[in-house]
Amino acid sequence: MAMTLAQIEARVDTAGRHPGRSFVRRHPLLVIGGTVLAVMVLIALFAPWIAPHSPIEMSVLKRLKPPSETNFFGTDAMGRDVFSRVLWGGRVSLIVGITVALLATTVGVAIGMVAGFSRAADAVIMRVMDGMMAIPGILLAVAMMALMRASIQTVVIAITVPEIPRVVRLVRSLVLVIREQPYIQAAEAIGTRFHWILLRHVLPNALTPLIVQGTFICASAVLFEAYLSFLGAGTPPEIPSWGNMMAEGRAVVQLAFNIILFPGIFLGITVLAINLLGDGLRDMLDPKIARRL
C-alpha cells in the first residue's frame, strides 16, 4: 500500500531521532562501563560505612580463614577481613588512576600543543620526551620510593611521568594534522584569535582520541599501582591497596587463594569498566559513529 507523503515524513523523522531506542541501547558500552565504575567509586567512597570490619585490625585467632558469614572474602595471614580491605583498597586504586589520567593528559596536552604549533619548541620538546620514554617506569618508581617516603603522591608522580610523553606524542600528531585542515584556515579568515583557535577548533577535534587515551592511562595507572604495591615499591603497607594485598597474599597462595582472588577480581572489573567507558565515550562523542549505532 502506498504511503502518503506525511506518513513517509513521519517515519523518516522517527528513524532520524531514534525515539524507540533509548540511550542505553545506543551506548551499551558507555552505560555498562559507567555504571560499574560508578559503583566502584561509590564503594570506595563509602568504604568506612559499608565495610563490616576495620581494614587494619589484626586478629591472631582469625588467620587465613576461608570465606564465611562474618568474613565474606575470608581473612588474610594477619587475620584482617579481606572484604573490608578490598573495599578500602579501591580508594587507592581509583585515586591513583583518576589523578594520573587527569595529570598526564593536562600536562601532555599543554606540552603537545606547543610542540605541534612551534617548530623550534618541537625539536627540543620531542627530544626531551624521547629521553623520558627511555626511562623504564618501574625503575623510576623504585628509585623515587628509595629517595622519598612511600606515599600515594609519590606513586602518582612515578606513574604520571612516563605517561606524559605518550600524551605529548599523541597531541602533537593530532595538532599537526588538524592545523592544516581548511576549517582552521577558515577560522583564521574570519579573524579568530590564535588561542581561541587552539581552544575551540583544535582541542575539540583532538578530544576524542584524547579521551580514549585518558581512559587507557587511567586503566593502566590502576594496574601500575598494583604492580608497584606488589613489588613493595608502591602504596605503604599500612594503607590497604589491591596491589599490596595481592603481594601479601602471594606467600600463602596455596593455603588461602581467596586473599589474591578477590582483590584481583575487583582490579580486573575496575580496569575493564574504565576501558568500556572509554570505548563508549569515543563512540558517543564522534557524531558520525553515533549516528550509525
Query: 115 CB contacts (<8 Å, ≥6 apart)?
Result: 121, 122, 125, 126, 168, 171, 172, 175
Q: Least distance from C-beta 286 to other proteins, angstroms?
A: 9
What is the SS3 assignment for 147-211?
HCCCCHHHHHHHHHHHHHHHHHHHHHHHHHHHCCCHHHHHHHHCCCCHHHHHHHHHHHHHHHHHH
Q: For residues 278 and 212, what is the distance between their CA atoms, to the nearest angstrom?
A: 5
d(CA 107, CA 168): 8
CB of residue 250 to other proteins, shortest distance in Å: 48
The site that binds other proteins (CB under 8 A) totals a number of residues, namely: 19
**Cα–Cα distance, 125 to 207 (Å, whole number):** 21
Q: Which of 91, 166, 201, 282 binds other proteins (CB under 8 A)?
A: 201
Identity of the amino acid at 151 = S
Contacting residue, 188, 250, 251, 253, with other proteins by CB under 8 A: 188
Quick check: 186 binds other proteins (CB under 8 A)?
yes
User: Per rule CB under 8 A, is residue 80 in the interface with other proteins?
Assistant: no
Q: Is residue 192 a contact point for other proteins (CB under 8 A)?
A: yes
204 binds other proteins (CB under 8 A): yes
Rounded to the nearest whole angstrom, what is the least distance from the CB of residue 150 to other proteins in the complex? 43
**Residue type for position 87:** L
User: Smallest gap, in angstroms, from Cβ of residue 201 to other proteins?
Assistant: 5
Q: Does 19 bind other proteins (CB under 8 A)?
A: no
Given the complex with other proteins, which of 19 and 182 has the nearer CB atom?
182
Residues that bind other proteins (CB under 8 A): 181-183, 185-193, 200-201, 204-205, 207, 287-288
